[in-house]
Structure 1
Amino acid sequence: MATEVRIYYEDTDAGGVVYHANYLGYLERGRTEFLRERGLSVRELADAGCIFPVVRIEIDYRAPAVLDDLLRVDTELMRLGKTSFTLKQQVVKIADSTVLVTAVVTLVCVKPGMKARRLPAELISAFDDGP
């Protein structure tokens, strides 16, 4: 699954490149759209008592993005557990296919109050095509 992101002036730092923390937001958008493509709404899951905080992220910055670049965030399932799942994500510059960022992100399913719970059946079945 891929999500496109355009780089605006507000995304850049004093050096004219994308500020490193902004990539976390791009990755979040990619994860949300990854779920949406599988028929899942983050809002509806939250309303049903399933919240998915990031509990681990490993990120490598390989090359910078700059003003007006068009990026693609690729997301794929790596691992599906009983209460968590791990995704592999990449941020790629569309113009030349340069991989700018790679990340491995683990999310855990919690109910309000932040107590871990099993992944909902609809999420598990949405991932049936597997890693």
Structure 2
Amino acid sequence: MKLILRTPVQQSYLQVWKGFDETLFRRLSPPFPPVRVVRFDGCLKGNTVELELNFFLFKQLWTSKITEQQGNAEEVFFIDEGVKLPFFLSYWRHRHRIIKDGEHTIIADEIEFRTPSVLTDYLFYPLLYGQFLYRKPIYRKVFS
């Protein structure tokens, strides 16, 4: 399944790119499930991000690798792909796009995911959409 959310913000795309750091990453984590950042190397190709999701009765590890990162005069992007995923995901690819929009920027989260079955793909979609919708006001506040 694919999910795309776009958020306009007030800073230049290069300023926004500089702001994609561990502090922002921690702020973007929704309240549930609580997330502990085990490892955050950054957003460059070859970097690793490792998270521990706490579902209170059990915990799940999520490890992603930054498989691509590029930039030009119009946008900067990086892609994280799931290496070790929680049991409810079988595939994860998230393209983070920071797109120049005049003097401002559009942050685009473009996600491809799969769960163990097509039925759970459709059930998981609104949950995942809500998790990423949570990011929009944070992006706007941080990059105002």
TM category, shorter: 0.3 to 0.5
Higher-strand-fraction structure: 2
> TM-score with structure 1 length normalisation?
0.33
> TM-score with structure 2 length normalisation?
0.30
